Amino acid sequence: MEITTNRREAEHRGKQATMKPEPSSFRLVDKSDLAKGLFALYFDLAGEKVNKFNPDTMMELDGLLESMKTRDDIKALVFLSGKENIFIAGADITYIQAVKEASEGERLAKQGQSVLQKLERMPFPVVAAVNGACMGGGTELALCCKYIVVSDAPGTKIGLPEVNLGLLPGWGGTVRLPERIGLQAALDFILTGKTMDGPKALKLGYADACFSRYGFEAKALGFGARVARGEKISRPARKKPLAATVTSALLEENPIGRAVLFMQARKMILARTRGHYPAPLKILDVMSKSYGKPRGKALEIESKAFGELSFSDVSKRLIELFFATEKVKKQTGVSGARLQPGEQIQSAGLLGAGVMGGGIAQLLAHKGIPVRMKDIDLKGLAIGTSAATRLFSDLVKKRKMTRREADIRFALISPTTDYSGFGRADLVIEAIVENMDVKKKVLQEVEPLLREGATIATNTSSLSVSGMASACAHPENVVGMHFFNPVHRMPLVEVIRAEKTSDRAVMRIFELSKRLGKTPIVVRDGAGFLVNRLLMPYLNEASYIMSEGAPIEELDEAVLDFGLPMGPAHLLDEIGIDVAVKVAKILHEAFGVRAEPCKLNDRLVASKLYGKKTGQGFYVYDSRGRKQNLNPEIYKTLGIKPSAPSKARKADWIPRMTYLMINEAALCLAEEIVMEPLDVDLGMIMGTGFPPFRGGLLRYADTVGLKNIVTKLEEFEKKFGPRFKPTAPLVDRARQGKSFYS
| pLDDT tens string 612-632 | 999 999 999 998 889 999 999
CA distance 356 to 127: 48
- Residue 354 pLDDT: 87
CA distance 247 to 288: 18
> With left for phi above 0 and alpha for psi between -120 and 50, is residue 333 left, alpha or beta?
left
Beta bridge partners, 149, equal 129, 209
All residue ranges of the chain with pLDDT < 50 are: 1-21, 241-244, 246
> What are the structural domain ranges in the chain?
6-311, 348-525, 532-735
- Residue 18 pLDDT: 40
CA distance 550 to 530: 28
CA distance 400 to 464: 38
SS3 246: helix
Which CATH number is 6-311 given? 3.90.226.10
Distant-in-sequence, close-in-space partners of 686: CB < 8 Å, separation ≥ 6: 490, 491, 492, 519
Our CA dihedral for 330, 335, 340, 345, rounded to 10 degrees, sits at -70
- Residue 10 pLDDT: 38
CA distance 2 to 114: 10
Which CATH number is 532-735 given? 1.10.1040.50
Instruction: Name the residue among 494, 547, 504, 503 with its Cα closest to residue 524.
Output: 494
- Residue 253 pLDDT: 72
642-645 contacts at long range (C-beta below 8 A, 24 or more positions apart): 642/549, 642/550, 642/551, 642/552, 643/549, 643/551, 644/551, 645/549, 645/550, 645/551, 645/554
Amino acid at 113: Q
Cβ neighbourhood burial of 668 (10 Å; 0-12, 13-18, 19+): buried
Which listed residue (366, 474, 482, 570) is catalytic?
Answer: 482
Amino acid at 20: K
Cis peptide bond N-terminal to 632, omega within 30? no
148, 128 contact by CB (below 8 A): yes
CA atoms within 13 A of residue 228's CA, in its CB half-sphere: 24
What are the C-alpha distances in Å from 288 to residues 136, 181, 441? 21, 16, 64
- Domain 348-525 matching CATH 3.40.50.720: the answer reads yes
475, 597 contact by CB (below 8 A): no
SS3 655: helix
Sheet holding 147-151, edge to edge: 26-30, 38-43, 76-81, 126-130, 147-151, 209-211
What are the C-alpha distances in Å from 681 to residues 535, 587, 674? 12, 21, 11
Active site residue 482: yes
> With left for phi above 0 and alpha for psi between -120 and 50, is residue 644 left, alpha or beta?
beta
Instruction: Name the residue among 582, 613, 580 with its Cα closest to residue 436.
Output: 582
Polymer length in residues for the chain: 742
Distant-in-sequence, close-in-space partners of 286: CB < 8 Å, separation ≥ 6: 168, 174, 301, 302, 305
- Residue 250 pLDDT: 60
Which secondary-structure segment (H or E) carries 648? helix 647-651
Instruction: Name the residue among 223, 577, 513, 569 with its Cα closest to residue 339.
Output: 513
Beta strand 627-630 pairing with 619-621? antiparallel
What are the C-alpha distances in Å from 617 to residues 32, 535, 572, 630, 724? 72, 19, 8, 9, 28
CA distance 636 to 609: 13
